[in-house]
Structure 1
Amino acid sequence: MGDDAMALWQEANRIEVLAFDVFGTVVDWHGSIVRELAQLAPAVDGDAFARAWREGYRPAMARVMSGELGWTLIDDLHRMILDDVLPRFGLAHLDEAQRAELNRAWHRLAPWPEVVAALQRLKPRYLLTPLSNGNIGLLTRMARRAGLPWDCVLSAEVFRAYKPDPATYLGVAKVFDLPPERVMLVAAHHDDLAGARACGLRTAYIERPLEFGAAHPKDVSPRPGNDLHCRDFADLAAQLGL
């Protein structure tokens, strides 16, 4: 996009807030969990373990959204899934302290390499916040450890609803007293972006082809509907004129 076109685009959209999906978009959950497991149980297939733990995420949330479970923090859902997964990988012997420490691996997820520097580029112009199903404690500890320069931390916990519930996307606009079109969701997942777009938010897709590990590359082809399609956060900053 040329400079003139970028200026017109920015004026037309007047985006003030960038809200970021976190797991897979900001942080490399797969690689981080693989590294954690390699320290704890090097004989276990870390790739399969990480994917199995993550695969339990949506079914667990569905139990809450259906009313089968009451409102539950993601930390607690992660622990429920972990207790189910461990026997499948020969790790049923882990004691309570070991299980609790492993469950906190989600607080220690590492950002993708370009993320922190790109967020620092974006911060002078935009308000930056995560919009994640992760709970506030998880996201805050993650940000502190990784150096993520959020202006605040917004979570499903704030709205007591998981994405893609409209309450989450519209909740960001309400927090900042803005119309939805002045908020942009940045995410590596098309279903998340579709939910935001349906609520009137702007959307930017981030390619994360290795989200599920090098052995399981993800299709990151452009899809219609998103305002921006970006290789990574550095490209996002560049496309926003920074």
Structure 2
Amino acid sequence: MKVLAFDIFGTVVDWHGSIAREMAQLHPQVDGDAFALAWRAGYKPAMARVMSGELGWTLIDDLHRMILDTILPQFGLAHLGEEERRHLNKVWHRLDPWPDSVEGLTRLKKKFTITTLSNGNIGLLTNMAKRAGLPWDCVLSAEVFRAYKPDPATYLGVAKVFDLKPEEVMLVAAHHDDLAGARKCGLKTAYVERPLESGAKNPKDVSPRPENDYHCASLVAVAEALGC
């Protein structure tokens, strides 16, 4: 293996906790936990509209804004103006990393080329990395390939960018559907446990699955497993 590609939302950064914390500061009357879940719930349906051809190619920033405008009335925030909505939508650029992320990535970077492979757009991923200190060698996005994961164009695109065979690339993610898509394209896979991705009230099953090459409790554990 020469390149490690990382899913971002939920794997490297804590989207739920970050959004809930921001809502507590901006709009303390709103249930931040429920707001974060509602916003994220619109993610896959919105991408499906693009993948089906109902919508043309759309950046995740714009899909996030479409979902945001839909859910604001549900939480008594229909009155927010354009500037407030734009600021709130950019919360996805301000997501906090999990406590182990920067250390784990820094260690892995010494031995491997590390890159994002996210449905998030390039500007979002770059702003996030700058703020959070995520030490990427490269920022790859669905925007580069004009296809959302799990389209094979994304996983095979990483190998093509670096002129590698698929088996020389490993996807690191906290989502089994993402890893399954990568595996079908010949990539290696590492599952990272993020039991609290959707908040403490909604713990998820992080049991090992034999089809993955590695199963790790954190990104630091991934580094240890790979001798970094």
Band of TM-score, shorter chain: over 0.9
**Aligned residue identity for 1:239:** A
Q: Which residue of 1 aligns with 2:190?
A: 204
Q: Which residue of 2 aligns with 1:24?
A: 10
In the aligned structure 2, how far is the partner of 1:241 from the partner of 1:150? 19
Q: Which residue of 2 aligns with 1:115?
A: 101
Q: Which residue of 1 aligns with 2:32?
A: 46
Secondary structure of the residue aligned to 1:204 is: strand
In the aligned structure 1, how far is the partner of 2:58 from the partner of 2:76? 27
Output one character per residue of 1:113-163: Cα deviation in whole Å (capped at 9) or x when no partner.
011011111111100000000000000000000000000100000000000
The CA deviation at 1:38 is: 0.7
Q: Does 1:238 align with 2:210?
A: no
Q: Does 1:134 align with 2:120?
A: yes
**Normalising to structure 2: TM-score of the pair?**
0.99
% same residue: 77
Q: Which residue of 2 aligns with 1:194?
A: 180
Q: Which residue of 2 aligns with 1:3?
A: none
Equivalenced residues, count: 228
In the aligned structure 2, how far is the partner of 1:235 from the partner of 1:118? 8
Secondary structure of the residue aligned to 2:172 is: strand
Q: Which residue of 1 aligns with 2:83?
A: 97
Q: Which residue of 2 aligns with 1:175?
A: 161
Output one character per residue of 1:1-55: Cα deviation in whole Å (capped at 9) or x when no partner.
xxxxxxxxxxxxxx00000000000000000000111111101100000000000
Q: Does 1:226 align with 2:189?
A: no
In the aligned structure 1, how far is the partner of 2:76 from the partner of 2:200? 24
Aligned equivalent of 2:135, options 124, 133, 149: 149
Secondary structure of the residue aligned to 2:39 is: helix
Could you tell me which runs of 5 or more consecutive residues in structure 1 were left unpaired when the two chains were aligned. Answer: 1-14
**Normalising to structure 1: TM-score of the pair?**
0.94
In the aligned structure 1, how far is the partner of 2:22 from the partner of 2:90? 10
Secondary structure of the residue aligned to 1:128 is: strand
Output one character per residue of 1:199-226: Cα deviation in whole Å (capped at 9) or x when no partner.
0000000000000001110100011210
Secondary structure of the residue aligned to 1:171 is: helix
Please tell me the root mean square deviation across aligned C-alpha atoms, in Å.
0.4
The CA deviation at 1:241 is: 1.2
Secondary structure of the residue aligned to 1:104 is: helix
Secondary structure of the residue aligned to 1:153 is: strand
Output one character per residue of 1:148-202: Cα deviation in whole Å (capped at 9) or x when no partner.
0000100000000000000000000000000000000000000000000000000
Could you tell me which runs of 5 or more consecutive residues in structure 2 were left unpaired when the two chains were aligned. Answer: none
List, as ranges, runs of 4+ consecutive aligned residues in structure 1 with deviation greater than 4 Å. none
In the aligned structure 2, how far is the partner of 1:125 from the partner of 1:233? 14
